[in-house]
Structure 1
Amino acid sequence: MKYIIAGCFITLAIYSTQAQTLHSPTKKLTLNFQVNTAGEPTYQLRFGAKPVIKPSRLAVLLQNQPGFDKGFTIAKIDSSATDETWAPVWGEVKQIRNRYKELAVTLQQAAAKNRRLVVRFRLYDDGLGFRYEFPAQPGFTYFTVQEEKTEFNLTGDHKTFWIPGDYDSNEYTYSTTRLSEINTTPIEAIQLKSAPQRVQTPLMLKTQDGLYVNIHEAALVNYPAMMLDVDTKAFGLTSHLVPSATGAKAYLQAPEHTPWRTIVVSDKAPEVLASKLILNLNEPSKIADTGWIKPQKFVGVWWEMHVNKASWNYADTSNIKLATTDWSKLKPNGRHGANTANVKRYIDFAAKHGLQSVLVEGWNVGWEDWANNWKEEVFDFVTPYPDFDVQELQRYAASKGVKLMMHHETSSSVTNYERRQETALRFMKEHGYDAVKTGYVGRIIPRGEHHDGQWMVNHYNRTAANMAQQQIMVDMHESVRLTGLHRTYPNWLASEAARGNEFNAWSTGNPPEHETILPFTRLMGGPMDYTPGIFQIKLEPWNPKANKGRQVHTTLAKQLALYVTMYSPVQMAADLPEAYEQHLDAFQFIKDVPVDWDDTRILAAEPGEYIITARKAKGKDEWYLGAITDERARRQTVKLDFLPPKARYTATIYADGKDADWEKNPMVYQIRQVLVDSRTQLPLQLAPGGGTAISLKPATKEELRKLKKQ
């Protein structure tokens, strides 16, 4: 279904100062736009009778010419309404409704030769998107953005979930404070941290009168990522763009537009998680034939390096010159994980348990040479180590019905990767790889550019497009955080772009609340490759000396629940095969849980505290439920009224065991089965840092007979 109604009003004298009001489709939200007496465009937003954004200015400042900030009059107003439904290639739901009211205001600056700017608003029932558009016009073609000054003036000292405004990393734990308390100074920088009151988006806030507000952006193309500068006294936010190597923010040519600035708002936390506003603001898929794009689960030669059981590098040699080294003559260190025999072990495990792919990290030469050296030429992406037999592993994987997943660690020498990418993708196609995990660890080359600046944003998008042409799926790590572009490039299955599960292996780890915040922040823009599924929670058995006292900060049952609460179409069973083989009863949930869905219901949620999510498998009459908590134990009752009436299901419940505790007793769990239907209310007992995972499948006659007797 689709309809569009549009109206256009062009009388300058009438609209030069008049305020404009726009209501969302069912009038949940109200937008007011106005040009103030200084000729500055302003907007404000209300949820019902409650103000969300107080009058806030809109401005884009330019280098070496007047900015788009003041001296405006309204030249034209266009309005329209859209209601359409579209089907994602993969996702959390089968269909997405795109229903909004639009207001496009053309502004004119008399003092700048009547130069024009369009501010376009799209108002949904769950939030607002707006962007700046720079039309083609005489005397205005090439321009440089010096800064964007978009304001989000808030109504009070809201509770805020934030990470520092680092230009090069999102890999921080979240701080939960009032706006007035934001200060990044005490936080140890991972890469390059900027101003003390600067934070990243997506930014999650909760007001004192019970509104949940999320501020982010959509469709980040040819523009730097947006940070937010916080006024800790007036509770205002102002956009700050990640700079380029020259200090300028964006180099543009008209016609052009910025990404959408997004505000998702509701009085119910689950509705924030259910919002599809950011996806709707992205362009439809640029890929005509998407049949080759396959959501999947995988294992990999990966976690064993993080827990110090194996190494990425083949030889313990420093200062190796990649171009002149005879790798066959190097002395192996005896710990290299990506060797042929070990990879075959993972292939066998994947084939036995129905997992589609095996990721192999450390297969290619160069790992001895790159760490923290800011070096240009390290990896060539096609030369294997002597103990990694490309042809034999291609043959062996194919014989087992398993795909190998490529790994391209760029060491952030992105110029090197761009020069070699075409050859690397050709190598992949020749050897049966149709998915790749890319990595951008370290400081960016070209030097002076940042992970979240315009240059790198264009690289990520160009890489997704290049891989789509070769029918290759991509999972990007250490990239800019997502903004819904997986609608436009559905081969871009996921990114990391946040503090993932691996931080539990070699740092202070992730606190138990971390996974209850990420869906409200990082995942608002798109799927995350969080790498759940760690069963050996205590890490000392892998290497007692190196891993002393280290552990994953959850229970085992919570690791299962993350497959439901942390959405991604590409999910890793991240632990070693031998860890799963000791708990095959619990591993059954990982085998069963899908990665593509027809429906999603957020049953209960509170950022930083708990999330309960139910999802319906793609094309199947099966539901899966995940419930997680922070460091506090919780008792939750879940209604199964999303099930069809009169149908009976077997619920297999994977729960925290008696006296389970993320720190003291994390690996104890219990599994039980009960018959349920749409009238059932299931009590869930979540341990501190714990969770529950449930599979719901139509009950067979045998199960009905057996479970009724219990």
Structure 2
Amino acid sequence: MKRILWMACLLLVSRQSHAQRTTAISSPDRAFRLTVATTAQGQLTYQLTYKNKPVIQPSTLGFTFSKPAMTLSRFSIVSIDSSRHDETWQPVWGEVSQIRDHHHELAVTVRSQTATPVDMLVRFRLFNDGLGFRYEFPKQTNLSHFVVADELTQFALTGDHKTFWIPGDYDTNEYLYNTTPISRIDALAAARKEKDIALQSLAGPDVIQTPLLMKTAQGVWISLHEAALLNYPVMQLKVDKTNFRLQSTLVPDVIGNKAYLQTPAQTPWRTLVISDKAADLLASKLILNLNAPPAFSDVSWIKPQKFIGVWWEMHTGKGTWEKAGGKHAANTQNVKKYIDFAAKNGFDGVLVEGWNQGWEDWFGNWKENVFDFVSPYDDYNMDELTAYAQRQGVRLIMHHETSGSVTNYERRMDRAYQYMVDKGINTVKTGYVGRIIPRGEHHDGQWMVNHYQWVAAKTAEYKLMVSSHESARPTGLHRTYPNWLASEAARGNEFNNAPTLGLVPEHETILPFTRLMGGPMDYTPGFFRFKLNQFEPTRKQEIRTTLAKQLADYVTMYSPLQMAGDLPENYEPHLDALQFIRDVPVDWDDTRILAAEPGDYVTIARKAKGKPNWFIGAVTDENSRTHTVALSFLEPGQAYDATIYRDADNADWKTNPAAYVVEKMPVTNQTTLTLKLAKGGGCAISIMKR
């Protein structure tokens, strides 16, 4: 990393008058200007302009500690340092093969005006697409061990912005998104509509979660989130609906404390990605740039992958996780059928849920020692299945449902991971359904955040990849732990089977701009049967997309770990459509955001890793749309063959979701395609170089 101190006249503008002091820097392209100041009363503030217009008004910074009991809200500036940074790095996997980290940094060291002064450094990094800043507490005589009661970070907005939000909840992110002005946010009212979430721990009527998406009246988009969440609780936001201010609020433990720290210590980065084009938000790599490089040097064993799984049977009533009852899905002969399907269609793995003893003892209970993660049911022959899969070039994917009993899992991780290695299994899906044991911890509190990191580090020791479910939403840590391929941490496709709200057509047009800003989601798309009464005729649930949109999700919902979520038998009538799932990669060299409007539509093109082929996905909400797509990103002078998987003319998510057409045509970089998207529909295109 190259860091160069600039002369003050080039980067830094500083003014001081009595107790007041003001410092300002600009982004490399000068579109952003950050001003940091202390007021006459000693408050430390920052403000941000974009293209000479304010996006964040002067906003205060600070902390409240419960031990030692003090509030850090008035400061004097001790020193100011500045630097610039410009490098290009290569991710282990991702949406692009190279990422540029180009920013200007301002490091402001302040001293609290308290009886016992405390030194604190606020580090700001200003990029061409936004701002990241964090607090740092150096090792010092007056502060060693301390307990955070709350973080006093403020985001003073410039108006009553249009906002895409979910209720603040300490234990789940699985809400549908609400779209309202800031002034009309009511988190408790929104949560009361949600009848399908198993565990709710609501933070209050005016508390919402990040990633938060806003649009100003002037058409500027603001994505507010955090990066590098380590040894700290999740940040949520308390809304002042009158003055349009957001205040950070941290997820507590059972006695109300937020974080237990020891100097030297630092917080996660608070991030603001800002643009007047929604597409630019999806292209931003600001959050990744604020995370550290890989924590281990050998990454050769990390492989993005596609898989199918024994899981949807349990959601549709065909099978069960538990063996008792006679419908156990994870039995040897049934799993062999999935392995056969995976091998035939080029999938890398087969996830098997319900393979291990204990499921009868868990449902409905809040019990600690349920699973040991190494004991299969007697109808599940692990050795026979791993050998069978290996012969066909397929691997089993392990499922570790912890039942929320995290201390039990931590005691058993080494043995469980060694068991995976011994069986030739290299990927695990972890789950944290229900209340966390020990009691009083929350899924998004500091204790669990540390656990998720430990799982990522521990699986890396065994050269295992991990996908976490019911965990805190990602903050770019897949750069530091590239074996952490994906997380759930949002309302995923299993909610299609929810009794009441389920999913809605606009959901996939919002998630890329909200939840996916922090990292990939294990969204499990690829459903080809839309009425979920296949095995229980009285079921009313349905999937609210068209089949073509299910295909497009593989491009628009980025993940290096992609599942074909449906049952093998539901793919058989549609092998021509299944071909797109077989062809679409899970790792990319380049990504182009062709069209985007949150809540309405998303169209993305991606170039396959190490190959000349491109893939396009386009999705819409409940409205039908027509898009034109210019293929100017293709290599000039080259011929390609495009296969278009589109909604049929009579397709509609509600009345005719399975109606689709597969068309083929030659294309070049001079070609412009017209895509007609049905209500709740989409279009998927593979473009293969001749």
TM-score, normalised to structure 2, is: 0.97
Aligned position for 2:175: 172
State the alpha-carbon separation in 1 of the partners of residues 455 and 320 from structure 2.
28
Structure 2 residue 535 is matched with structure 1 residue 536:
no
Structure 2 residue 5 is matched with structure 1 residue 6:
yes
Q: 2:466 aligns with which of 469, 474, 488?
A: 474
User: In terms of mean alpha carbon deviation, does 6-15 or 252-261 score higher?
Assistant: 6-15
Secondary structure of the corresponding residue to residue 493 of structure 2: coil
- Residues 16 and 75 of structure 1 are in contact (CA less than 8 Å); yes or no, is this contact kept in structure 2? no
Q: What do residues 361-390 of structure 1 show as CA deviations (whole Å, max 9, x unaligned)?
A: 000011111123211111111111110001
State the alpha-carbon separation in 2 of the partners of residues 281 and 550 from structure 1.
41
Q: Residue 6 of structure 1: CA displacement?
A: 1.1
- Residues 413 and 446 of structure 1 are in contact (CA less than 8 Å); yes or no, is this contact kept in structure 2? yes
- Residues 396 and 425 of structure 2 are in contact (CA less than 8 Å); yes or no, is this contact kept in structure 1? yes
User: In terms of mean alpha carbon deviation, does 28-37 or 478-487 score higher?
Assistant: 28-37
Aligned-partner residue type, residue 448 of structure 2? M
Aligned-partner residue type, residue 540 of structure 1? N
Secondary structure of the corresponding residue to residue 243 of structure 1: coil
- Residues 632 and 689 of structure 1 are in contact (CA less than 8 Å); yes or no, is this contact kept in structure 2? yes
Structure 2 residue 22 is matched with structure 1 residue 19:
yes
Q: Residue 15 of structure 1: CA displacement?
A: 9.6
- Residues 38 and 70 of structure 1 are in contact (CA less than 8 Å); yes or no, is this contact kept in structure 2? no
State the alpha-carbon separation in 2 of the partners of residues 492 and 698 from structure 1.
32
- Residues 19 and 39 of structure 2 are in contact (CA less than 8 Å); yes or no, is this contact kept in structure 1? no
Aligned position for 1:53: 56
Secondary structure of the corresponding residue to residue 346 of structure 1: helix
Structure 2 residue 51 is matched with structure 1 residue 42:
no
Q: 1:588 aligns with which of 579, 584, 593?
A: 579
Q: Residue 203 of structure 1: CA displacement?
A: 0.2
Q: Residue 64 of structure 1: CA displacement?
A: 3.6
Q: Residue 572 of structure 1: CA displacement?
A: 0.1
State the alpha-carbon separation in 2 of the partners of residues 185 and 286 from structure 1.
40
Q: 2:202 aligns with which of 193, 196, 200?
A: 193
User: In terms of mean alpha carbon deviation, does 301-310 or 521-530 score higher?
Assistant: 301-310
- Residues 15 and 21 of structure 2 are in contact (CA less than 8 Å); yes or no, is this contact kept in structure 1? no
- Work out the number of aligned pairs and report it: 679
Structure 2 residue 209 is matched with structure 1 residue 220:
no
Q: Residue 175 of structure 1: CA displacement?
A: 0.5
**Which aligned pairs between 1:274-293 and structure 2 lie closer than 5 A?**
274-293=283-302
Q: 1:71 aligns with which of 74, 77, 90?
A: 74
Aligned-partner residue type, residue 546 of structure 2? T
- Residues 183 and 196 of structure 1 are in contact (CA less than 8 Å); yes or no, is this contact kept in structure 2? yes
Q: Residue 598 of structure 1: CA displacement?
A: 0.1
Aligned-partner residue type, residue 609 of structure 2? K
Secondary structure of the corresponding residue to residue 133 of structure 1: strand
State the alpha-carbon separation in 2 of the partners of residues 267 and 371 from structure 1.
48
Aligned-partner residue type, residue 219 of structure 1? A
State the alpha-carbon separation in 2 of the partners of residues 51 and 23 from structure 1.
13
Secondary structure of the corresponding residue to residue 107 of structure 2: strand
Aligned position for 1:598: 589
Indicate the RMSD between aligned Cα atoms, in angstroms. Answer: 1.5
Secondary structure of the corresponding residue to residue 587 of structure 1: helix
- Residues 44 and 74 of structure 2 are in contact (CA less than 8 Å); yes or no, is this contact kept in structure 1? no
**Which aligned pairs between 1:376-395 and structure 2 lie closer than 5 A?**
376-395=368-387
State the alpha-carbon separation in 1 of the partners of residues 658 and 125 from structure 2.
48
Structure 2 residue 668 is matched with structure 1 residue 685:
no
Secondary structure of the corresponding residue to residue 63 of structure 1: strand
State the alpha-carbon separation in 2 of the partners of residues 400 and 678 from structure 1.
39
Structure 2 residue 408 is matched with structure 1 residue 423:
no
Structure 2 unaligned spans of 5+:
none
Aligned position for 1:463: 455
State the alpha-carbon separation in 2 of the partners of residues 364 and 16 from structure 1.
65
- Residues 86 and 97 of structure 1 are in contact (CA less than 8 Å); yes or no, is this contact kept in structure 2? yes
Structure 2 residue 131 is matched with structure 1 residue 128:
yes
Q: Residue 447 of structure 1: CA displacement?
A: 0.3
- Residues 136 and 255 of structure 1 are in contact (CA less than 8 Å); yes or no, is this contact kept in structure 2? yes
C-alpha change, 1:48 and 1:67, in structure 2 (3 Å) is: farther
State the alpha-carbon separation in 1 of the partners of residues 174 and 116 from structure 2.
46
Aligned-partner residue type, residue 230 of structure 2? V
**Which aligned pairs between 1:66-145 and structure 2 lie closer than 5 A?**
67=70, 69-145=72-148
**Which aligned pairs between 1:691-706 and structure 2 lie closer than 5 A?**
691-699=682-690
Aligned-partner residue type, residue 676 of structure 2? Q
**Which aligned pairs between 1:229-308 and structure 2 lie closer than 5 A?**
229-308=238-317
- Residues 72 and 114 of structure 2 are in contact (CA less than 8 Å); yes or no, is this contact kept in structure 1? no
- Residues 49 and 55 of structure 2 are in contact (CA less than 8 Å); yes or no, is this contact kept in structure 1? yes
Q: 1:576 aligns with which of 567, 576, 587?
A: 567
Q: What do residues 446-485 of structure 1 show as CA deviations (whole Å, max 9, x unaligned)?
A: 1000000000000000110000000000000000000000
Structure 2 residue 524 is matched with structure 1 residue 521:
no
**How high is the sequence identity, in percent, across the aligned residues?**
59
Secondary structure of the corresponding residue to residue 466 of structure 1: helix
- Residues 45 and 53 of structure 1 are in contact (CA less than 8 Å); yes or no, is this contact kept in structure 2? yes
Aligned-partner residue type, residue 6 of structure 1? L
Aligned position for 2:330: 338
Aligned position for 2:480: 488
State the alpha-carbon separation in 1 of the partners of residues 657 and 16 from structure 2.
69
Q: Residue 114 of structure 1: CA displacement?
A: 3.7
- Residues 223 and 250 of structure 1 are in contact (CA less than 8 Å); yes or no, is this contact kept in structure 2? yes
- Residues 641 and 679 of structure 1 are in contact (CA less than 8 Å); yes or no, is this contact kept in structure 2? yes
- Residues 12 and 76 of structure 1 are in contact (CA less than 8 Å); yes or no, is this contact kept in structure 2? no
Q: Residue 12 of structure 1: CA displacement?
A: 12
Aligned position for 1:614: 605
- Residues 19 and 40 of structure 2 are in contact (CA less than 8 Å); yes or no, is this contact kept in structure 1? no
- Residues 307 and 506 of structure 1 are in contact (CA less than 8 Å); yes or no, is this contact kept in structure 2? no
Q: Residue 21 of structure 1: CA displacement?
A: 0.7
State the alpha-carbon separation in 1 of the partners of residues 638 and 18 from structure 2.
59
User: In terms of mean alpha carbon deviation, does 226-235 or 589-598 score higher?
Assistant: 226-235
State the alpha-carbon separation in 1 of the partners of residues 167 and 445 from structure 2.
16
- Residues 27 and 127 of structure 2 are in contact (CA less than 8 Å); yes or no, is this contact kept in structure 1? yes
- Residues 89 and 99 of structure 2 are in contact (CA less than 8 Å); yes or no, is this contact kept in structure 1? yes
Secondary structure of the corresponding residue to residue 451 of structure 2: helix
Aligned-partner residue type, residue 684 of structure 1? L
C-alpha change, 1:494 and 1:15, in structure 2 (3 Å) is: farther
State the alpha-carbon separation in 2 of the partners of residues 395 and 48 from structure 1.
61
State the alpha-carbon separation in 1 of the partners of residues 116 and 442 from structure 2.
35
- Residues 15 and 76 of structure 1 are in contact (CA less than 8 Å); yes or no, is this contact kept in structure 2? no
Aligned-partner residue type, residue 356 of structure 1? D
Aligned position for 2:216: 207
User: In terms of mean alpha carbon deviation, does 62-71 or 564-573 score higher?
Assistant: 62-71
C-alpha change, 1:13 and 1:173, in structure 2 (3 Å) is: closer
Q: What do residues 269-327 of structure 1 show as CA deviations (whole Å, max 9, x unaligned)?
A: 00001000000000000121101000000001011111111111100xxxxxxxxxxxx
Aligned position for 1:707: none
- Residues 457 and 481 of structure 2 are in contact (CA less than 8 Å); yes or no, is this contact kept in structure 1? yes
